[in-house]
A and B are shown apart, each in its own frame.
Chain A
Amino acid sequence: MSIRTLHIGRTGLKTAAYGMDVTGQNVTNASTEGYVRRRLVQQTRAPHRTEHGVFTGQGVTASAIHRDIDRFATERCFEGLGEQSMASTAHETLSIVEANFREGDTASIADRLDRFFDAATELTSEPSDHGLRLAMRDAGQDLVDSVNRGGDALIESIRRAEDRIKDEITGINKLLTDMKVLHERISDSDAVSGPADLMDARDGLAEELAQKIGVDVDYQANGQLAMFVGGHAIVQDVHIRELSTAGSSGTLSVKMSADGGTVTVDSFLRGELGGLIKARDQIAATLADLDTFTEEFVDEINAQHSSGFDAYGAPGLDFFSIPAGATNASTDMSLDTALAVDAQMIAAAGSPSAEVGDGENLQAIIDVEDTALFTSGTQNSREFIASLYSDLGNAIVGFEVDATTHGAIINDLVSLKDANGKVDLDEEAVSLIQYQAAYQAAARVVTAADELLNELMATVR
């Protein structure tokens, strides 16, 4: 009896010591980022059958160290992180683009458009005045500069967004490789002591991936983490699928390796990468609108200008120019080269024989301001530019609201996750007392068994 009792006491001492180790680990990692609280799982050792057929206990054993993770909250947290990260990345990227289209800026396209027509209106007061002609030409050049600047800024923003997409993909593939290595190590590890720390590290990578690409996450029964993008598994056990890019500037798309080829995942991506793609698409849409504005506006002004006559009595030339085959009208728009050096070529007059004070054609040019040229004849140039600004603004506000909403959801999920997984020092203090008491009690069992054995030995002697 006493020898077994000593053994039972020993298992109690050992398990209590394990418990204090786990508690100590928890306490010292209370503020470690990504650390999930551990709990010692104790189990009764298989009983011993005596010669009388009675089963007696064999003590206790530490069967596992359990990671107290709330899988549901953690999975939702990862998914929410992708949504929040996508919205905030798109919001930040577009906010930088919007700085080029500030309201009330005297160099804005809207303001320069107004001033161009104002200069034409002012020229009606004295069509032969060279100073007023120069002012109208300069207002035209200012408008060109503003449109060029806007187009250049948008193209540059697209380029930067796509450069960032490529850089992010390099980083994401590195994360995927690290994830693969961790999953391999987890599957090779001892279930009692090893995987918890590896799983913490793996979950840290999963969080980074969720933030980068937005993933659907599923904790597997074997402790591995499966991650999906648009239903396509990007991480499954020790298998990963890398990302790559295809296409040219402005239409760059993200591909995921698949059996025998790749699949396009642009529309499934969230996270920073998804946000960059959304932002790039919005910028491209704004650029397309600006190009449409430029083409329609230039065509209409040129048509009106060409129907008039300049100060020399010659038919009006084009006022603005866009080279044939230009990719982006907004960046390639310019003032007509002849008119740029001679403002007398502004076709203010309505007829070739008109006298110097004839400004009949100016009125036709001024009328373009209120002509509904856009959106199937429902918007004039000013309204179209305003809607271009509004669309960009609406997108930014939409992403900001999404980021705030998902941020709030994540806060709730983090609280839920932390309620289980975060180290609670009060609970750990109680555990410490428990394990300390268990240790002391086990030690007492050993002492008692020892005393009994000593007494027995003395009797024998």
Chain B
Amino acid sequence: MEALKQSSTSMGSRIAKLNEEVSTGKRINRASDDPGRISQLHNVRQQLNNQGVYMKNATQAEQLLNVADTALKDIHATLSEARELAVQFANEIYNGDQRGEAANVTDTLFDRALSLTNTQFNERHIFAGTAYDQAAYNSSGVYQGSTDSPEAVVGDSLKVKTGFDGSDLLAGSSDMFGSLTDLKDALNADDTAAIVAALDDIDAALLDVEKGMVEVGGEMRRSIDANGLASNLEVELKQAKASIEETNVVDAYSRLVQLQTNFDAAMQVTSMQRYSGLFTRI
């Protein structure tokens, strides 16, 4: 009877544990449920948390890089318009008045390029480097940003740029605003030789912008790859976490039913144990 009582008690605690397992869906609810796998479980959880942050950072970087890419395309288009003006008005058939009109157009292109180089994303000046709280270029087209680029962590030992040093990205070996100013001055001066010289500078600036577009595209690629990697890892880590931590509900349920049956049987035996020996016969 004593043994029966004890086994009923231990069965009761096993049923309570299985109940918890079934109700939480987790076979590890505390370290003592499987001490040997706690370190592994913590590692997986930490990596899983990390992937969430990496994806968040990568997604934000992608949005910023998309804006940067669009801005560079527009800058390229603006410089291309300036180049067309230079080609057109380098031709001798135009007079001074007509070149003066073209100079006004160049002025507009300057302002447009200036506005584009000061493009913002979430109030960050994309081309001002780490000094993104201020405009990358002043009204004269002089760079006033930082030569350092901000970076976001998007993976283990993986970073992408979330801003660019405009003086390097937009004018590595050229002077975009200087070339536009030179073109305007040449048009105002009705000086075709100077217009041709400005044309060469604009070509160099276009080349730098194209290089910049390649760099932004590269960062974009890295960011998309990092996001994809984090997303895939997240799926795999969720599976790994589930295999460590989660219970097989069907198996747990069947064990629970079995234990409950045993428990009921033990109770039945306990309640049925009554004396039916010699005393009842004498």
Residues of A within 8 A of B (CB): 27, 94-95, 98-99, 101-104, 110-111, 114-115, 117-118, 121-122, 124-128, 354-359, 363, 366, 369, 382-383, 385-387, 389-394, 396-397, 400, 404, 407, 411, 414-415, 418, 425-426, 428-430, 432-433
Question: Which residue of B26, B150, B277 contacts A357 across the interface (Cβ within 8 Å)?
Answer: B150
Which residues of A lie under 8 Å from residue B277 when comparing CB positions?
Answer: 425-426, 429
The secondary-structure label for the interface of chain A is helix
Q: Which 10 pairs across A and B sit closest by C-beta, in order of nearness?
A: A393-B31, A393-B35, A357-B130, A355-B131, A357-B150, A396-B32, A125-B152, A429-B278, A355-B130, A393-B32
Q: Assuming the A-B contacts A103-B28, A114-B46, A125-B152, are A430 and B38 also in contact, with contact meaning beta carbons closer than 8 angstroms in the complex?
A: no
Which residues of A lie under 8 Å from residue B140 when comparing CB positions?
Answer: none
Question: Which residue of A354, A355, A400 contacts B132 across the interface (Cβ within 8 Å)?
Answer: A355
Q: How far is the CA of A188 from the CA of B273 in the complex (A)?
A: 41
CB distance from A312 to the nearest CB of B (A): 14
Which residues of A lie under 8 Å from residue B54 when comparing CB positions?
Answer: 121
In the complex, the answer to whether A357 meets B163 with C-beta atoms within 8 Å is: yes
In the complex, the answer to whether B61 meets A356 with C-beta atoms within 8 Å is: no
In the complex, the answer to whether B35 meets A124 with C-beta atoms within 8 Å is: no
Interface size class of B (residues with CB under 8 A): 35 or more
Which residues of B lie under 8 Å from residue A390 when comparing CB positions?
Answer: 31, 35-36, 38-39
Instruction: Across the interface, name the chain B residue whose C-beta is closest to A393.
Output: B31
Question: Which residue of A103, A114, A404 contacts B29 across the interface (Cβ within 8 Å)?
Answer: A103
Q: How far is the CA of A432 from the CA of B277 in the complex (A)?
A: 14
- Could you list 17 examples of A-B contacts with CB < 8 Å? A95-B32, A99-B30, A103-B26, A103-B33, A114-B50, A121-B153, A125-B152, A126-B60, A355-B130, A357-B162, A357-B163, A369-B46, A396-B31, A396-B32, A411-B2, A425-B278, A429-B279
Instruction: Across the interface, name the chain A residue whose C-beta is closest to B54.
Output: A121
CB distance from A26 to the nearest CB of B (A): 12
Question: Which residue of B10, B41, B132 contacts A356 across the interface (Cβ within 8 Å)?
Answer: B132
Which residues of A lie under 8 Å from residue B278 when comparing CB positions?
Answer: 425-426, 429-430
Is B129 interfacial (CB 8 A cutoff)? yes
Is B245 interfacial (CB 8 A cutoff)? yes
In the complex, the answer to whether A385 meets B42 with C-beta atoms within 8 Å is: yes
Which residues of A lie under 8 Å from residue B153 when comparing CB positions?
Answer: 121, 124-125, 363, 366
In the complex, the answer to whether B151 meets A124 with C-beta atoms within 8 Å is: yes
In the complex, the answer to whether A114 meets B148 with C-beta atoms within 8 Å is: no
